[in-house]
Amino acid sequence: MKILVFGDIVGRIGREAVMTSLPGFRVQTEPDLVIANCENLAGGRGVTERTLDQLIDAGIDVFTSGNHLWDRERIADVLANERYAGRLVRPANYPSGTSGRGWILLTVGVKKVLVVNFLGRVFSETLTENPFITLDRILTETATAGPDIVLVDFHSEATSEKVAFGWYADGRTAAVWGTHTHVPTRDERILPGGTAYITDIGMSGFRDGVIGVERESVLHNFTTKQLPMRHNVPSSGEAIVNALFLTVGDRGQATAVEHLQRIITIG
Annotated binding site for Fe cation: 8, 39-40, 67, 155, 180, 182
d(CA 190, CA 176): 10
Dist. CA 166–CA 159, nearest whole Å = 11
**10 Å Cβ neighbour count for 161?**
21
Find out whether 119 and 67 touch, Cβ atoms under 8 Å: yes
SS (H, E, C) 80-103: HCHHHHCCECCCCCCCCCCCCCCE
CA dist 237 and 7 (Å) reads: 19
Q: Is 220 labeled as catalytic in the residue annotation?
A: no
Task: Please identify which of the residues 68, 220, 231, 259 carries the catalytic annotation.
Answer: 68
- Contact present, 199 and 178 (Cβ < 8 Å): yes
* Residue (of 3, 13, 2, 7) closest to 243 by Cα position: 7
Spatial neighbors of 49 by CB under 8 A, at least 6 apart, are 78, 81, 83
183: three-class secondary structure by DSSP: coil
Q: What type of residue is 118?
A: F
For the chain, list the strands marked E by DSSP: 2-8, 33-37, 62-64, 103-108, 111-119, 149-155, 175-179, 189-190, 196-198, 205-206, 237-248, 254-266
SS3 content of the chain, % helix, strand, coil (to 5): 30, 30, 40
- Positions marked active-site: 68
